[in-house]
Amino acid sequence: MTETSLSLLERLRLQPDADSWQRLVDLYTPLLRTWLRRHGLADADVDDLVQDVLVVVIRRLPQFEHNRHRGAFRCWLRAIVANRLREFHRARQSRPLATGDSDFIARLEQLEDPASDLSRLWDAEHDRHVVQRALELLQPHFEPATWQAFRRTAHDGVPAAEVAAELGTSVNAVLLAKSRVLRRLRQEVQSLTG
């Protein structure tokens, strides 16, 4: 992981490179698969749609302008997914879908509506996914004791004094470890999402 002031999205817009594109693909493919499977699609169709969505992202990202509001990319990506699903549905209208056309259309309309429960679920799952991926990227960059102090306090909710006793260190050392990881986590999440 390289430290940079430019986010992944900005690097891809301004100075795209193979590693950055691969990082975007690795980050978003699992999330996209999960969401597309919810529409009752066959695995082959899910794979095709994931590729379609990523192709649109690659093609349109240079024109994407982040409005500096939290979730701008997430909303833009959700709109791309909804549009690709709509195109998929139109192309397949002559063949019935396993979920039924009316259910499919209703879910698609909910996904397009930023105020719907489905869109809020997309937002929450997107954010959880990005944080989880960021944690996976960060873990190798910390000593095991630092990581354990962070996990026990931030994730498990164990009081710092108890973690300090478990690790045989001071409460201050535990709090500093948690703070260092959280600071890097914020940086990594910002780097991944703009």
**Segments making up each domain of the chain, as ranges:** 1-141, 142-194
Q: What does the alpha-carbon distance between residue 28 and residue 18 come to, in Å, rounded to a whole number?
A: 15
User: In the numeric block, which tokens belong to residue 62?
Assistant: 């240079």
Q: What CATH class does 142-194 carry?
A: mainly alpha
Given a contact cutoff of 8 angstroms between Cβ atoms, the answer to whether 126 and 118 are in contact is: no
Residue 119: half-sphere exposure toward Cβ, Cα within 13 Å:
19
Q: Which two tokens stand for residue 64?
A: 């994407």
| C-alpha–C-alpha distance, residues 123 and 119, integer Å | 6
pLDDT score for 171: 96
pTM: 0.67
**CA dist., res. 116 & res. 67, Å (int):** 22
The more confidently predicted of residues 5 and 90 is 90
Q: What is the mean pLDDT of residues 130-142?
A: 89
**Rounded mean pLDDT, 153-176:** 96
Other C-beta atoms within 10 Å of 66: how many?
14
Number of Cβ within 10 Å of residue 159's Cβ equals 12
pLDDT: which is higher, 100 or 5: 100
DSSP conformational letter for 48: H
Q: How far apart are CA 153 and CA 131, in angstroms?
A: 16
Q: What is the pLDDT of residues 26-70, one digit of tens each?
A: 889 999 999 899 888 889 999 999 999 999 998 898 888 776 677
Q: Which two tokens stand for residue 179?
A: 């703070």
User: For residue 61, what is the DSSP state?
Assistant: G
